Structure 1
Amino acid sequence: MAISKAQWQQVEDELAGSWVNVAFRYQGVELLIRRERKNETTTVLAVYVDGCIKGNWFKPIDKLPDDAPKVMLDVWYHRSMAIYKPQEIAELEKIYGKRRARREIPKLHGRIEWIEAYFPKASVLCRQFKKLEGLELTKAQCLSEPVLS
Protein backbone atom coordinates (compact mmCIF):
# COMPACT_ATOMS: atom_id res chain seq x y z
CA MET A 1 0.00 0.00 0.00
CA ALA A 2 1.46 3.35 -1.05
CA ILE A 3 1.87 6.05 1.56
CA SER A 4 -0.30 9.08 0.87
CA LYS A 5 0.85 12.69 1.05
CA ALA A 6 -1.18 13.25 4.23
CA GLN A 7 0.37 10.17 5.85
CA TRP A 8 3.86 11.39 4.94
CA GLN A 9 3.12 14.68 6.69
CA GLN A 10 1.91 12.80 9.79
CA VAL A 11 4.98 10.53 9.73
CA GLU A 12 7.29 13.55 9.40
CA ASP A 13 5.57 15.26 12.34
CA GLU A 14 5.94 12.07 14.39
CA LEU A 15 9.62 11.72 13.47
CA ALA A 16 10.23 15.32 14.53
CA GLY A 17 9.02 14.52 18.05
CA SER A 18 11.06 13.45 21.07
CA TRP A 19 9.96 9.81 21.24
CA VAL A 20 10.14 8.08 17.89
CA ASN A 21 9.17 4.48 17.18
CA VAL A 22 8.37 4.08 13.49
CA ALA A 23 8.85 1.01 11.30
CA PHE A 24 8.84 0.47 7.54
CA ARG A 25 9.17 -2.59 5.32
CA TYR A 26 11.28 -2.28 2.18
CA GLN A 27 12.30 -5.16 -0.12
CA GLY A 28 11.64 -7.73 2.62
CA VAL A 29 13.74 -5.85 5.20
CA GLU A 30 12.38 -4.20 8.33
CA LEU A 31 13.54 -0.63 8.91
CA LEU A 32 13.19 0.68 12.47
CA ILE A 33 13.60 4.40 13.10
CA ARG A 34 14.44 5.64 16.59
CA ARG A 35 15.61 8.97 17.98
CA GLU A 36 19.01 8.63 19.66
CA ARG A 37 21.54 10.94 21.24
CA LYS A 38 24.51 11.92 19.09
CA ASN A 39 26.16 13.90 21.88
CA GLU A 40 25.12 15.79 24.98
CA THR A 41 22.91 18.30 23.17
CA THR A 42 22.11 16.75 19.78
CA THR A 43 19.76 13.94 18.76
CA VAL A 44 19.55 12.13 15.43
CA LEU A 45 17.20 9.65 13.77
CA ALA A 46 18.81 6.20 13.59
CA VAL A 47 17.70 3.74 10.89
CA TYR A 48 18.10 0.11 11.98
CA VAL A 49 18.17 -2.51 9.22
CA ASP A 50 16.49 -5.68 10.52
CA GLY A 51 17.03 -4.42 14.06
CA CYS A 52 20.76 -3.74 13.92
CA ILE A 53 23.44 -1.26 12.93
CA LYS A 54 26.92 -2.74 12.61
CA GLY A 55 30.05 -0.64 12.95
CA ASN A 56 31.81 -2.27 10.00
CA TRP A 57 29.03 -1.00 7.69
CA PHE A 58 30.28 2.59 8.17
CA LYS A 59 32.72 2.59 5.26
CA PRO A 60 33.15 4.45 1.98
CA ILE A 61 30.50 3.37 -0.53
CA ASP A 62 32.99 1.60 -2.77
CA LYS A 63 34.38 -0.44 0.19
CA LEU A 64 31.19 -1.79 1.77
CA PRO A 65 31.59 -5.30 3.24
CA ASP A 66 29.85 -8.31 1.71
CA ASP A 67 27.62 -8.89 4.76
CA ALA A 68 26.07 -5.41 4.43
CA PRO A 69 22.42 -5.47 3.30
CA LYS A 70 21.88 -4.20 -0.24
CA VAL A 71 19.10 -1.83 0.86
CA MET A 72 21.53 0.27 2.93
CA LEU A 73 22.45 2.37 -0.09
CA ASP A 74 18.78 3.30 -0.45
CA VAL A 75 17.83 3.88 3.18
CA TRP A 76 20.92 5.35 4.89
CA TYR A 77 22.05 8.98 4.76
CA HIS A 78 24.57 9.76 2.00
CA ARG A 79 27.50 11.96 3.00
CA SER A 80 30.50 13.27 1.10
CA MET A 81 33.59 15.32 1.80
CA ALA A 82 36.29 16.82 -0.38
CA ILE A 83 39.67 15.10 -0.14
CA TYR A 84 41.49 18.44 -0.19
CA LYS A 85 40.27 21.73 1.26
CA PRO A 86 39.79 24.63 -1.21
CA GLN A 87 42.69 26.50 0.37
CA GLU A 88 45.02 23.50 -0.10
CA ILE A 89 43.91 23.15 -3.74
CA ALA A 90 44.59 26.83 -4.37
CA GLU A 91 48.07 26.59 -2.82
CA LEU A 92 48.96 23.49 -4.85
CA GLU A 93 47.69 25.06 -8.08
CA LYS A 94 49.67 28.21 -7.34
CA ILE A 95 52.87 26.24 -6.75
CA TYR A 96 52.59 23.73 -9.61
CA GLY A 97 50.10 25.35 -11.97
CA LYS A 98 46.66 23.91 -12.67
CA ARG A 99 47.65 21.39 -15.32
CA ARG A 100 50.63 19.97 -13.48
CA ALA A 101 48.72 19.85 -10.19
CA ARG A 102 45.98 17.77 -11.87
CA ARG A 103 48.57 15.52 -13.47
CA GLU A 104 50.61 14.98 -10.28
CA ILE A 105 47.62 14.67 -7.93
CA PRO A 106 44.79 12.91 -9.83
CA LYS A 107 42.31 13.15 -6.93
CA LEU A 108 42.94 16.84 -6.28
CA HIS A 109 39.27 17.71 -6.83
CA GLY A 110 37.97 14.30 -5.70
CA ARG A 111 35.47 13.51 -2.98
CA ILE A 112 35.02 10.71 -0.45
CA GLU A 113 31.44 9.36 -0.26
CA TRP A 114 30.02 7.23 2.54
CA ILE A 115 26.70 6.35 4.13
CA GLU A 116 25.56 6.75 7.74
CA ALA A 117 22.65 5.28 9.67
CA TYR A 118 21.90 8.67 11.25
CA PHE A 119 19.72 11.42 9.76
CA PRO A 120 19.95 14.94 11.20
CA LYS A 121 16.29 15.87 10.66
CA ALA A 122 12.94 14.23 9.99
CA SER A 123 12.44 16.18 6.76
CA VAL A 124 15.72 14.83 5.34
CA LEU A 125 14.75 11.24 6.17
CA CYS A 126 11.25 11.64 4.69
CA ARG A 127 12.59 13.27 1.53
CA GLN A 128 14.85 10.28 0.91
CA PHE A 129 12.25 7.65 1.87
CA LYS A 130 9.55 9.17 -0.37
CA LYS A 131 11.65 8.23 -3.41
CA LEU A 132 11.66 4.50 -2.52
CA GLU A 133 9.34 2.31 -4.60
CA GLY A 134 7.53 -0.35 -2.59
CA LEU A 135 8.10 1.21 0.84
CA GLU A 136 5.39 0.20 3.32
CA LEU A 137 4.66 1.88 6.65
CA THR A 138 4.12 -0.88 9.23
CA LYS A 139 4.30 0.86 12.60
CA ALA A 140 3.59 4.48 13.54
CA GLN A 141 1.44 6.43 15.94
CA CYS A 142 -0.43 8.00 13.02
CA LEU A 143 -1.63 4.54 11.87
CA SER A 144 -3.63 4.00 15.07
CA GLU A 145 -5.12 7.51 15.14
CA PRO A 146 -8.19 8.29 13.03
CA VAL A 147 -7.53 10.68 10.15
CA LEU A 148 -9.44 13.94 10.59
CA SER A 149 -10.82 15.54 7.45
Structure 2
Amino acid sequence: MAITKEQWSAIEQEMKGSMGRVVLKLEGRQLSLEKRLITENQLAILVYIDGTINPGWGWEGSDHFEPFVKRVWRQSTRSVYKPSEQARIIKNLGKRLVKKTFPDMDKKLHFWMPYFKTSASMRRVLQKNKEIELVSIGYVAETA
Protein backbone atom coordinates (compact mmCIF):
# COMPACT_ATOMS: atom_id res chain seq x y z
CA MET A 1 0.00 0.00 0.00
CA ALA A 2 1.33 3.42 -0.95
CA ILE A 3 2.21 5.98 1.70
CA THR A 4 -0.47 8.63 2.23
CA LYS A 5 0.06 12.38 2.23
CA GLU A 6 -0.33 12.52 6.03
CA GLN A 7 2.28 9.76 6.47
CA TRP A 8 4.74 11.64 4.23
CA SER A 9 4.19 14.73 6.37
CA ALA A 10 4.90 12.70 9.51
CA ILE A 11 8.05 11.23 7.92
CA GLU A 12 9.31 14.70 6.94
CA GLN A 13 8.59 16.02 10.42
CA GLU A 14 10.56 13.15 11.98
CA MET A 15 13.53 13.87 9.72
CA LYS A 16 13.59 17.65 10.27
CA GLY A 17 14.96 17.34 13.79
CA SER A 18 18.52 16.58 14.83
CA MET A 19 17.69 12.90 15.26
CA GLY A 20 15.22 10.78 13.41
CA ARG A 21 14.56 7.29 12.13
CA VAL A 22 12.02 5.90 9.69
CA VAL A 23 11.77 2.34 8.39
CA LEU A 24 10.23 1.69 4.98
CA LYS A 25 9.78 -1.40 2.84
CA LEU A 26 10.21 -1.53 -0.94
CA GLU A 27 10.22 -4.70 -3.06
CA GLY A 28 10.81 -6.84 0.02
CA ARG A 29 13.85 -4.81 1.05
CA GLN A 30 14.02 -2.76 4.22
CA LEU A 31 15.03 0.89 3.94
CA SER A 32 16.17 2.58 7.14
CA LEU A 33 16.29 6.36 6.96
CA GLU A 34 18.40 7.80 9.79
CA LYS A 35 19.56 11.33 10.54
CA ARG A 36 23.32 11.11 11.09
CA LEU A 37 26.54 13.13 10.85
CA ILE A 38 28.20 12.72 7.44
CA THR A 39 31.05 15.16 8.10
CA GLU A 40 32.01 17.33 11.02
CA ASN A 41 28.99 19.52 11.90
CA GLN A 42 26.91 18.36 8.89
CA LEU A 43 23.79 16.25 9.30
CA ALA A 44 22.11 14.28 6.52
CA ILE A 45 19.49 11.58 6.10
CA LEU A 46 21.29 8.31 5.38
CA VAL A 47 19.45 5.56 3.49
CA TYR A 48 20.42 2.06 4.61
CA ILE A 49 19.33 -0.84 2.40
CA ASP A 50 18.75 -3.95 4.53
CA GLY A 51 20.83 -2.34 7.28
CA THR A 52 23.87 -1.68 5.08
CA ILE A 53 25.44 1.11 3.04
CA ASN A 54 28.06 0.18 0.47
CA PRO A 55 29.38 3.22 -1.44
CA GLY A 56 30.37 0.95 -4.35
CA TRP A 57 26.69 0.30 -5.06
CA GLY A 58 26.31 3.84 -6.39
CA TRP A 59 28.93 3.66 -9.17
CA GLU A 60 27.63 2.24 -12.46
CA GLY A 61 31.08 1.20 -13.68
CA SER A 62 31.80 -0.70 -10.47
CA ASP A 63 31.60 -4.48 -10.04
CA HIS A 64 29.53 -3.80 -6.91
CA PHE A 65 26.90 -1.63 -8.67
CA GLU A 66 23.37 -2.25 -7.36
CA PRO A 67 20.62 -1.00 -9.75
CA PHE A 68 18.17 -0.74 -6.82
CA VAL A 69 20.01 2.34 -5.49
CA LYS A 70 18.83 4.40 -8.47
CA ARG A 71 15.36 4.28 -6.92
CA VAL A 72 16.27 5.20 -3.34
CA TRP A 73 19.54 7.20 -3.32
CA ARG A 74 20.33 10.75 -4.48
CA GLN A 75 21.88 11.15 -7.93
CA SER A 76 24.99 13.30 -8.10
CA THR A 77 27.05 14.56 -11.04
CA ARG A 78 30.65 15.76 -11.24
CA SER A 79 32.79 16.95 -14.14
CA VAL A 80 35.96 15.02 -14.90
CA TYR A 81 37.77 18.36 -15.07
CA LYS A 82 36.75 21.38 -13.00
CA PRO A 83 35.86 24.51 -15.02
CA SER A 84 38.96 26.30 -13.70
CA GLU A 85 41.15 23.36 -14.80
CA GLN A 86 39.49 23.35 -18.23
CA ALA A 87 40.16 27.07 -18.65
CA ARG A 88 43.80 26.67 -17.60
CA ILE A 89 44.37 23.75 -20.01
CA ILE A 90 42.66 25.56 -22.91
CA LYS A 91 44.72 28.68 -22.24
CA ASN A 92 47.99 26.73 -22.23
CA LEU A 93 47.33 24.36 -25.15
CA GLY A 94 44.69 26.01 -27.32
CA LYS A 95 41.27 24.63 -28.28
CA ARG A 96 42.40 22.41 -31.18
CA LEU A 97 45.14 20.64 -29.25
CA VAL A 98 42.87 20.22 -26.22
CA LYS A 99 40.23 18.44 -28.37
CA LYS A 100 42.88 16.00 -29.61
CA THR A 101 44.65 15.49 -26.28
CA PHE A 102 41.67 15.54 -23.89
CA PRO A 103 38.65 14.04 -25.71
CA ASP A 104 36.78 13.60 -22.41
CA MET A 105 37.23 17.23 -21.31
CA ASP A 106 33.44 17.84 -21.06
CA LYS A 107 32.61 14.39 -19.69
CA LYS A 108 30.52 14.18 -16.53
CA LEU A 109 30.40 11.34 -14.00
CA HIS A 110 27.00 10.23 -12.70
CA PHE A 111 26.75 8.35 -9.42
CA TRP A 112 24.35 7.85 -6.53
CA MET A 113 24.96 9.00 -2.96
CA PRO A 114 23.41 7.20 0.05
CA TYR A 115 22.21 10.39 1.75
CA PHE A 116 19.89 13.36 1.35
CA LYS A 117 20.59 16.83 2.71
CA THR A 118 16.92 17.72 3.29
CA SER A 119 13.75 15.81 4.03
CA ALA A 120 12.03 17.44 1.05
CA SER A 121 14.62 16.12 -1.42
CA MET A 122 14.34 12.68 0.20
CA ARG A 123 10.56 12.76 -0.23
CA ARG A 124 10.81 13.74 -3.92
CA VAL A 125 13.00 10.74 -4.72
CA LEU A 126 11.22 8.15 -2.59
CA GLN A 127 7.69 9.27 -3.48
CA LYS A 128 8.25 8.16 -7.08
CA ASN A 129 8.16 4.55 -5.80
CA LYS A 130 4.42 3.93 -5.64
CA GLU A 131 4.69 0.53 -3.90
CA ILE A 132 6.76 1.83 -0.95
CA GLU A 133 5.33 0.96 2.49
CA LEU A 134 5.78 2.61 5.89
CA VAL A 135 6.90 0.22 8.64
CA SER A 136 7.68 2.57 11.56
CA ILE A 137 8.47 6.16 12.46
CA GLY A 138 10.86 7.05 15.27
CA TYR A 139 13.18 4.96 17.38
CA VAL A 140 11.22 1.88 18.39
CA ALA A 141 12.61 -0.54 20.96
CA GLU A 142 13.38 -3.79 19.19
CA THR A 143 12.66 -6.86 21.30
CA ALA A 144 13.94 -10.33 20.67
| In 2: Cα distance, 1:87 partner to 1:117 partner | 28
Listed as ranges, the gaps of 5+ residues in structure 2 are 139-144
Partner of 1:135: 132
Residue identity opposite 1:45 in structure 2 = I
Partner of 2:142: none
Residue identity opposite 1:62 in structure 2 = G
Partner of 2:18: 18
For residue 88 of structure 1, report the CA deviation from its aligned partner: 1.9
Deviates more, 1:14-23 or 1:98-107: 98-107
Residue identity opposite 2:62 in structure 1 = K
Partner of 2:41: 41
Partner of 1:146: none
- TM value normalised by structure 1: 0.80
Q: Secondary structure at the match of 1:11?
A: helix
Matched, 1:6 2:6: yes
Residue identity opposite 1:50 in structure 2 = D
Residue identity opposite 1:61 in structure 2 = E
| In 2: Cα distance, 1:61 partner to 1:53 partner | 16
The percentage of aligned residue pairs carrying the same residue is 28
| In 1: Cα distance, 2:112 partner to 2:66 partner | 13
| In 1: Cα distance, 2:130 partner to 2:100 partner | 42
Q: Secondary structure at the match of 1:109?
A: coil
Partner of 2:111: 114
Partner of 1:91: 88
Listed as ranges, the gaps of 5+ residues in structure 1 are 142-149
After the TM superposition, which segments of 4 or more aligned residues of structure 1 sit over 4 Å from their partners? none
Partner of 1:77: 74
* Aligned Cα root-mean-square deviation (Å): 2.0
Do 2:55 and 2:114's aligned partners in 1 also have CA atoms closer than 8 Å?
no
Q: In structure 2, do the counterparts of structure 1 residues 69 and 56 end up closer, same or farther at CA, with 3 Å as the change threshold?
A: closer
Partner of 2:53: 53
For residue 99 of structure 1, report the CA deviation from its aligned partner: 4.1
For residue 64 of structure 1, report the CA deviation from its aligned partner: 4.5
- TM value normalised by structure 2: 0.82
Number of residue pairs the alignment of both structures matches: 138
Q: In structure 2, do the counterparts of structure 1 residues 55 and 3 end up closer, same or farther at CA, with 3 Å as the change threshold?
A: closer
Partner of 2:141: none
| In 2: Cα distance, 1:23 partner to 1:96 partner | 54
